[in-house]
Amino acid sequence: MSMITATTWVPRGFAAPFPNKYVFDEEEYERIAKLAELQIEDAKEDLEEAQKAGNEATEKDDTSSKPSKSSGAKKEPKSHEEADDDLKEYDLEHYDDDDHKDQEDGMDTMAMFGNAGNLKSLVYHESNEEDPYITMPGQDDDEDDDREDLQILATDNLVLAARIEDEVAHLEVYVYEDEADNLYVHHDIMLPAIPLAVEWVNIPVGKPDGSKNGQGNTVAIGTMDPDIELWDLDTVDCMYPNAVLGQGAQDGNKADNPKKKRKKKSKKVNDDYHVDAVLSLAANRHHRNLLASASADKTVKLWDLNTAKCAKSYSYHTDKVCSLAWHPKESTVLLSGSYDRTVVAADMRAPDAKAPRWGVESDVETVRWDPHDPNFFYVSTENGVIHYHDARLAPTQPSKSKPIWTLQAHDESISSFDINPIIPGFLATGSTDKTVKLWNIQASGPSMVVSRNLDVGKVFSTTFGPDKEVGFRLAVAGSKGSVQIWDTSTNAAVRAAFATKIAPANGEVKERLVGLQEEDTDSDSEEGEDEEEASGEEAGAEGWESMEE
């Protein structure tokens, strides 16, 4: 089973033309050795604690069940019920939880690394041109070929896709060559848990030397684990992230201070780190060192990427916070949506101030500001409805919210939607009903332009290209584990709806759908490709309602 849970684009010009290959040098070897020794020490401590607890329980059981000498009674074998009661003492049903899992992980670590003494027997070899066993004839040519294979052109875009496949999670870094209609996997990054959120960050994180102009190419990844990992996209075959935001970062810090005692991971909500899954990430494009995160622990946290520390924690919601969006112009205003069926637009500089709050009819899925008029924002919900609000018209209470218009875009949950950053009024929605719909947002309300089944299964991600050259390209991915790049400008209905925004086509324009499709025997593939097109007011203004009505 394979599925893609999230995607995002990297604008042109940020990726290194020739990405570096991960170097396992002396410094990295020493760091890994220290971490391994710490893990072994922790595993031994867990084992000793477990053995001690087991011995105490055994002694207690022997004392309570031992027959008295005066009675001369013979010890009877235990019934199944009594045996089950004894097993409860060891809480085997929760063996995979917390402390038991720590012990199991510790034993796995010991099995992998042996003991600390064995680590010292490992030998690190540096490349030596005079050693024929290390530098082989033709090696330089192979390195040149590898370098050429890894090259990323200035006209290429990267597309990042978070994939879970057979319980193995990783991030795939695709290169999209628009002119060649080509999409391929450049490299991938192994992840510790199911990925839920992916955000591109344009500063170097965890690099002391930084870069020439402070420009970086980094990805932040939120997973079912509470920690956020940041990886350098310009380095191939990395073994460890550049930085970790959260309680898990303490393990990395212990490598520099081996005497520091390990702390058991806390599940209590606090101001320093998340304690549950990270559902959304939003990088601030004005204050580039700031990253906002939303979690199932009901909090929103603001991280300083220069220090990898939590700068502030906010508790605006009473249920899981699932989506975030920074205001395009007011750089300190953050929009957040929650399963508590409310949306909050809060100024991060005034955490104690009462923030405007809007209500919707069901759980929020995604929130987005209108990039072409930031006075307005969009909200999608689990019921398949899009709400369009004026941020200047905040209600006195959420139940009295009055959107400018609402749109019943899908019959099922709108799991993803995006507003085209280049073309005003161009909206794309993706749903668990397996369709992608394109909309033309006009003054009178939205009208549907086209509906397509792109054969990606349930749609989990729909994102427009970030550059003018790829403004009409839509990346779509979902439950079948495939990524498709749809050139929407080749669709006749799209050209008709946005004729003034599209350069005249020379000759016949053929439909362009570029992607990597995995073989799938799912019965869904038999459905084929459903398409519905319309234009103008006949485009099925599918259930939109104006506030004036």
pLDDT in tens, the chain (549 residues): 799 999 999 999 999 999 988 776 677 667 666 666 666 776 777 788 788 877 777 766 665 554 444 444 444 444 545 544 544 544 545 544 555 555 444 444 444 334 434 434 444 444 444 544 455 555 555 555 566 778 999 999 999 999 999 889 999 999 999 999 999 999 999 999 999 999 999 999 876 555 556 789 999 999 999 999 999 999 998 888 889 999 877 555 444 444 445 455 668 999 999 999 999 999 999 999 999 999 999 999 999 999 999 999 999 999 999 999 999 999 999 999 999 999 999 999 998 889 999 999 999 999 999 999 999 999 999 999 999 999 999 999 999 999 999 999 999 999 999 999 999 999 999 999 999 999 999 888 899 999 999 999 999 999 999 999 999 999 999 999 999 999 999 999 999 999 776 554 444 555 677 776 554 444 444 444 455 655 443 343 444 444 333
CA distance 295 to 323: 9
Please report whether residue 98 resides in a domain.
yes
Q: How many residues does the chain have?
A: 549
45 within domain boundaries: yes
Q: How many CA atoms lie within 13 A of 232 on its CB side?
A: 22
Category of 14 on φ-ψ map: left (φ > 0), alpha (ψ -120 to 50) or beta: alpha
- Entry pTM: 0.75
Residue 291 lies in a domain: no
Which pair of tokens denotes residue 17? 């033309």
pLDDT at 251: 54
Number of domains comprising the chain = 1
| pLDDT at residue 485 in the model | 97
In a domain, 518, yes or no: no
DSSP state of 499: G
The amino acid at residue 21 is: K
Rounded CA separation 252/260 (Å): 11
Whether 140 is covered by a domain: the verdict is: no
| b/e per residue 282-302 (b: at least 16 CB within 10 A) | bbbeeebbbbbbbbbbbbbbb
Query: 462: closest CA among 318, 335, 348, 365?
Result: 365
Q: Which pLDDT belongs to residue 109?
A: 41
DSSP-based three-state secondary structure for 441? strand
Pair 462, 430: CB distance under 8 Å = yes
**Domain carrying residue 51:** 26-61+85-120
In a domain, 54, yes or no: yes
Beta strands in 224-375, from DSSP E residues, in sequence order: 228-232, 235-236, 243-245, 278-283, 290-295, 300-304, 309-314, 321-326, 333-338, 342-347, 357-359, 364-369
177 vs 10: CA distance, rounded Å? 13
DSSP per residue over 174-217, as a string? EEEETTTTEEEEEEEEE-SS-EEEEEEE-S--S-TT--TTS---
What one-character DSSP code corresponds to residue 367?
Answer: E
Q: Where are the alpha helices (DSSP H) in 72-153?
A: 80-88, 98-113, 116-120, 139-149
SS3 355: coil
Within a domain: residue 115?
Answer: yes
476's tokens: 């779509």
Within a domain: residue 439? no
